C-alpha cells in the first residue's frame, strides 16, 4: 500500500479500521493544545512584560529575563564576597 493510499484509509469518515478512534485522537490533540496554552499563560504571568505577548516573543522575553536574573545573582554574589570579613 502506498503512502497516499494509507492516508486515504486513515482519514476516511467511516473509520472502519480496528483500534482506530478518530474522536479520541482529536480529543488528545485538543488536550495537548490546551495544556500548551495554559503553560504559555502561566509564563506570561511570570515574566515581566509578558502579558499579551505572542509565544515567540514571549520565549525571547523569557530568555532575556533569565539572563537578567543570572546577572543580578552574579552581582549579589560579588557584593557578598566583598563584604565578607
Domain layout of the chain by residue ranges: 3-83
Q: Residues for the chain: how many in total?
A: 85
Residue with the three cell numbers 554574589: 77
Backbone angles phi, psi at 61, to 5 degrees: -60, -40
**Confidence (pLDDT) at 1:** 41
**What does each of the 85 residues of the chain score in pLDDT, given as a tens digit?**
444 444 444 444 555 555 555 555 556 688 889 999 999 999 999 999 999 999 999 999 999 999 999 999 999 999 999 998 7
From 80, 48, 51, select the one nearest 64 (Cα to Cα). Answer: 48
**Confidence (pLDDT) at 78:** 96
Q: What is the pTM of this model?
A: 0.60
SS3 of 25, please? helix
Distances (CA, A) of 5 to 8, 12, 26, 27: 5, 11, 21, 25
Amino acid at each position: 500500500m502506498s503512502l497516499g493510499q494509507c492516508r486515504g484509509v486513515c482519514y476516511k469518515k467511516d473509520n472502519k479500521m480496528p483500534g482506530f478512534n478518530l474522536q479520541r485522537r482529536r480529543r488528545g490533540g485538543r488536550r495537548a493544545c490546551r495544556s500548551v496554552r495554559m503553560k504559555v499563560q502561566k509564563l506570561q504571568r511570570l515574566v515581566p512584560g509578558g502579558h499579551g505577548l505572542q509565544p515567540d516573543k514571549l520565549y525571547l522575553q523569557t530568555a532575556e529575563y533569565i539572563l537578567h536574573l543570572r546577572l543580578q545573582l552574579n552581582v549579589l554574589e560579588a557584593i557578598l564576597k566583598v563584604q565578607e570579613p
